[in-house]
Copies of this chain bind each other. A is one copy, B any other.
Amino acid sequence: MSYAAFEAEVARVNDLLCAVNLLTWDARTVMPPGGVEARGKQIATLVSLARDAATGEAMLKALDGAEAETASAPAGDLRRRAVGDARGAIDTLRRIPAALVAEAAELKTEGQAVWAAARAADDFAAFAPTLKRTMAMQREIAGHIGHAGHPYDALCGTYEPGMTWARLQKLFSELKAGIAPLLDKARGVPVRGDILTRRYPVDRQKAFSSRIAASMGYDFGRGRLDDTVHPFEISFTRSDVRITGRFREDWLPGGLFAVWHEAGHGIYEQGVSPAFSRSVFTTDFVNLYAVGGTSFGMHESQSRLWENRVGRSRRFWDRHFADLRETFPEQLGDVPVADFWKAVNAARPSFIRVEADELTYDLHIMLRCEIEAALIDGSLDVDDLPAVWKEKMRDHLGVEVPNDTLGVLQDVHWSSGMVGSFPTYTLGNVMSSQLFRAAGAVPEVEAGLDAGDYAPLRGWLEANVLRHGRSRTPDEILLAATGKALSTEDYVADLSRKVAELAG
């Protein structure tokens, strides 16, 4: 009965965190403007109750009991794994003082407001004092979490278990070496950008992208698509996983690829084993977040896989462009598929990360991570950030950043205390290629991709990634699914091939 008591305690935490997810979804999609203030308090209360429930006496007692009950189970036993994982995560959570968490949450609200004003005014100095407090607090949190190497390990490890600054540096240098030679070549490919900025009625964009998302495997019977300023995916158990998109009449790829990106996240959550509902394997105790994906990076691998490996491939458009042209006959009647495909793959160095193409995106990430690591280990001072940012943009992307709004002030992350999450975007890219390559070794998957039948690919992903939920680490999943540890090889190969195709 001890294990059952432990399961009940975990389910309670998970229910609370799913409710927090709903309060969040609602606030970003349908909540009337008047609701903002009260909603913030409701979320804070539920998160704090979840923390209390996760670290309280009842949970610790249940953990002890479950540990005793499963101690003699074999190493691979899922119940033993659940207990061990929960113990580790809850210990980490308990090491971060509740007062510090509350202070960080408060600073987050304040920080976002200060950042938004500073960004609008292009005034980094106005943001600097807040950013200093945030970084000091994150250093303190890193100290409580603990680390064996670099203090940044403690932070990026909460988003990507097992990730360290040393591993990242190696991975980044490989990537840099692989991407740099491709940039000039890609930049030379002529592109008809005007194709994408014609007037594309939003309802038809939605219908087309939803149709494709459904064929990829996003189940609308356990989900829905709404409009928001910033697209996102969020789940309230695998049976209710919602995505949002942002559609603009005069920018077609914005709407389409965001839907497939978020659908990729959604397919992940919907594919987690039903047995893991309300369990350790769908609960992120450290971040107090109900989620089925094993890490931020693995999650991103699924969104990038469907958005880029599938959705930006020549094969995909050879298959679906006729449908898109039928959907938009006046806009695309005169456009050959090759031109369209080139246009949605245009690679150009730019200032803004979220608008970056596939080839330059990771360079934006690298400079952010270098800065984060240096801020956390104290080797970089916040006041020097604008200059360092410009220097690094010159170095990585060869562009001259004209001001801080288009530079160091562009991202919301630091203002809300998110330090260490940026690496997961690039990790997602890398993993997406590694998994896609392994899946493609299965003839049915490859044949399906040729035929526009995505069920075999989704099935492979479900069996090898999705269904495991958080019961395996990203490293374990990669090794079992691809036969090798995390490696940049397939990603660099994919990018090289893409550039060759574009230029050829």
| Residues of A participating in the B interface, judged by any CB pair closer than 8 Å | 11-12, 15-16, 18-19, 22-23, 26, 30-39, 41-42, 45-46, 49, 219-224, 236-237, 239-240, 242, 277-278
Contacts and interface: CB of A to CB of B under 8 A. Distances in A.
Contacts of A11: 41, 45
16 contacts: A15-B42, A19-B42, A30-B30, A30-B224, A32-B221, A32-B222, A32-B240, A32-B242, A33-B221, A34-B223, A34-B239, A35-B240, A37-B239, A38-B237, A38-B239, A39-B240
A19 B19 contact: yes
Contacts of A18: 38, 42
Of A19, A39, A236, A277, chain B has the most CB atoms within 10 Å of the CB of A19
Contacts of A12: 45, 49
Nearest to A278: B41
A224 B16 CA distance: 25
Contacts of A34: 219, 221-223, 239-240
A42 B236 contact: yes
A15 B236 contact: no
Contacts of A15: 41-42, 45-46
Given A16-B45, A19-B46, A46-B15, A38 B221 contact: no
Contacts of A242: 32
Contacts of A26: 22, 26
A334 to B, nearest CB: 36
Nearest to A26: B22
A236 B19 contact: no
A355 B313 CA distance: 58
Contacts of A31: 240
B16 A49 contact: yes
Q: Is the interface of A mostly helix, strand, loop or mixed?
A: helix
Q: Which 5 residue pairs of A and B lie closest in terms of their CB atoms, listed nearest first?
A: A34-B222, A35-B240, A15-B45, A38-B237, A34-B239
Contacts of A221: 32-34
A381 B388 CA distance: 83
Chain copies in the assembled complex: 2
A224 B36 CA distance: 14
Contacts of A19: 19, 22-23, 42, 46
Contacts of A42: 15, 18-19, 236
Nearest to A8: B45
A355 B422 CA distance: 58
A277 B38 contact: yes
A30 B15 CA distance: 19
A8 to B, nearest CB: 10
Given A19-B19, A19-B23, A34-B222, 15 more contacts: A19-B46, A22-B23, A30-B30, A30-B224, A31-B240, A32-B221, A32-B223, A32-B224, A33-B222, A34-B240, A35-B222, A35-B239, A36-B239, A41-B278, A42-B236
A37 B39 CA distance: 25
A220 B33 CA distance: 9
Contacts of A222: 32-35
A32 B237 CA distance: 12
A311 to B, nearest CB: 23
Contacts of A277: 38
A242 B34 CA distance: 11
A240 B49 contact: no
A41 B277 CA distance: 11
Given A41-B15, A240-B39, A220 B32 contact: yes
A52 to B, nearest CB: 10
A22 to B, nearest CB: 6
Contacts of A22: 19, 22-23, 26
B219 A38 contact: no
Nearest to A38: B237
A467 to B, nearest CB: 17
Nearest to A53: B49
Chain B CB within 10 A, most for which of A11, A219, A237 = A237
A221 B33 CA distance: 6
A274 to B, nearest CB: 10
Nearest to A34: B222
A65 B43 CA distance: 27
